[in-house]
Structures are given as C-alpha cells and as structure tokens.
Amino acid sequence: MIPLSWFLVFSAVLFSLGAFIAITRRNTIFILMGIELMLNAANINLLAFWRYLHAPAGDMDGLMFILIVFVAAAAEAAVGLALIVSAYRRRKTVIANELDTLKG
C-alpha cells in the first residue's frame, strides 16, 4: 500500500505550485488556474484522509466533502471566467494591475 504521507507530500507540492502561480502572475486567467490547482491539492488531502482514517469505519463524509468542493470550484470557475470576459470587453485587458478603476 501507498503510505498516507506520500499523498500529503504530493498535495503540498501541488498547493505550493498553485500558490506560486496565483501570486506571481498578473494575468487574471493565470491566477484562476493557480486557484484551481490549490483546490485540487486540498481535494487530494481530503480524499486521502478520508480513505486512510474514515473509510474503514464506513462513513461517506469525505466523498460528500469532495463533491461539494467540485460544485464550488465549478461555480467559481464559471463566474470568475464570466467576470474576466466581461472585464476584457470593457477595458480590453485581463491584467490584474491594469484593472484599477477602484484605485483611489
């Protein structure tokens, strides 16, 4: 069997990569990709903990948790990309630094 810690290390690496992308990039679509990567890393953690600590007891909370995260991620991606397309149509840019109408 694969040790639980392998999954946790993998998801930690994936999370750091997602955080790196979300901080470094200025393109809003790139930032969204980083957020998706971080959500995926969290999902691996949830499923691994469920599989190793709770599945033997027979409950399904972990699976439900991940399904809800899927739904939230899909909603977030749909609304986020709609906002990006809408902002692009008005301002002709998707660079986060240039979307500064609210700047005082």
Partner 1 sequence: MTGMQVIFLINALVSVLAGIMLATSRKLIHAGLWLILTLFGVAIMFGLLEASFLAIVQGVVYIGAIAILIIFAIMLTRETMEESHGKRTRWILTSIVALITLAGILLALLTWPQSSSLTLPLSEEQQSIAELGLALVDPERYLVPFEVASLLLLAALVGAVYVAVERKGEEK
Does position 63 interact with partner 1 (CB under 8 A)? The reply is yes
* Rounded-to-10 torsion of CA 73, 86, 29, 7: 0
Separation of alpha carbons 96 and 98, rounded Å: 5
Token pair for residue 75? 């909603």
CB of 103 to partner 1, least distance (A): 19
The site that binds partner 1 (CB under 8 A) totals a number of residues, namely: 71
Residue 14 found at the interface with partner 1 (CB under 8 A): yes
Q: Does 68 bind partner 1 (CB under 8 A)?
A: yes
Residue 33 near partner 1 by CB under 8 A: yes
